[in-house]
Amino acid sequence: METQQRLTWLFTRPQLSQFNVDGKVFIVTGAAQGLGLVLAEGLAEAGGKVYCFDTCKHPDAHWLECQERIRSKHNSTIEYVQQDVTDTAHLQKSIQIVAGANSGLDGVIAAAAIQQVTPALEYTAADVDKMMRINFTGAFMTATCAAREMMRYKRQGSICFIASMSGLIANKDMHTPVYNAGKAALIQLARSLAMEWSSINEDGTGGIRVNCISPGNIKTAMLEDVFSKDKIRMWSESNMLGRLAEPEEFKSAALYLMSEASSFTTGSNLVIDGGYTAW
């Protein structure tokens, strides 16, 4: 679709229809559980066909319940694909298979990540390498593998990195220097890839928007298992809303960035932290 035709199409249809992703194909990494699965569910609820990439061989009962709920309530689908984002050769093949089966790919959310809470003086080189291979290199390779397929099929779409407010600040009383640095790198990576891929080329390739979502502290079982109640209370009280986020509160942001509603949004970092970094 030529640029002017595309703009006319965007501006003349009902505004809320821009959030509709019926028939669009997405990949979400790190989507066997947690925030990744919640974001995948949100895209499927809006009509998308979503492939959940993660490392475990088979999804657990919670994931299967989510799949059934999406099928029965929304007549949509999520599919599971065993894929480690650090296995870059196979990652390219897995994304090619998804794109080939659907004659294209419309968007990717790179949510796969790990956390390690360790004072800086106690890190080993192996610790740093493992975290960066998953949190940064894995996200970078996910984006480039996806972009190749989007360009192959001339799909103008969206790529979103799940960064963190930890890429903007040093979290009070949370010893996560490598995690923080990796998330800061993702924010800059989004800007750099947006510069390369956002404009539409003469051959019809390009038009790939690249952005980040930077969540604040999210209420998860992992957070409650790792940190004391006193620390969790302190972090809750450190933002303007006085509480932690629920994973479901990020669904609409992901849908915005994956849909045509964000057609003029690229190279941006959407900070959703309850006001934590605003004061």
User: What per-residue confidence (pLDDT) applies to 221?
Assistant: 74
For 203, the token pair is: 């051959």
Domains of the chain: 22-216+253-273 (3.40.50.720)
Strand boundaries in the chain, DSSP class E = 25-29, 49-54, 77-82, 107-110, 158-162, 209-215, 269-272
Residue-level pLDDT at 173: 87
CA geometry: angle at 216 spanning 186 and 259, to 5°? 65
pLDDT in the model for residue 144 = 98
Selecting among 24, 49, 183, 251, the annotated active-site residue is: 183
Establish whether 251 is a catalytic residue. no
Backbone angles phi, psi at 249, to 5 degrees: -75, -5
Catalytic residue check, 183: yes
Token pair 């984006």 in the structure block, residue: 143
Helix axis angle, 138-152 to 177-197, nearest 10°: 20
**Beta carbons of 30 and 112 less than 8 angstroms apart:** yes
Instruction: Give 10-residue mean pLDDT values along the chain (279 residues).
Output: 59 72 97 97 97 97 96 93 97 98 98 94 97 98 98 97 97 92 98 98 97 95 81 92 96 98 97 95
> Distance between CA 186 and CA 228 in Å, rounded?
28
Handedness of CA 140, 141, 144, 146 (dihedral sign): negative
Contact 48, 24 (CB under 8 A): yes
Q: Which two tokens stand for residue 64?
A: 């299967």
Q: Give the Cα separation of 237 and 240 in Å (integer).
A: 8
- Crossing angle for the helix pair 177-197 and 125-132, nearest 10 degrees? 40
Q: Which of 51, 80, 179, 256 is catalytic?
A: 179
Residue matched to tokens 């998953």: 134
Task: For residue 205, count other CB atoms closer than 10 A to its CB.
Answer: 18
- Confidence (pLDDT) at 5: 64
Predicted local distance difference test score (pLDDT) of residue 6: 62
Q: Which amino acid is at 258?
A: M
> What's the distance, CA 152 to chain centroid?
22
Q: What is the CA radius of gyration of the chain?
A: 18
Q: CA 60, CA 258: separation in Å to the nearest integer?
A: 26
Say how many C-beta atoms besides its own lie within 10 A of residue 128's C-beta: 15
C-beta of residue 47 within 8 angstroms of C-beta of residue 21: yes
Amino acid at residue number 46: A
Q: CB atoms < 10 A from the CB of 263, how many? A: 16
pTM for this model (two decimals): 0.93
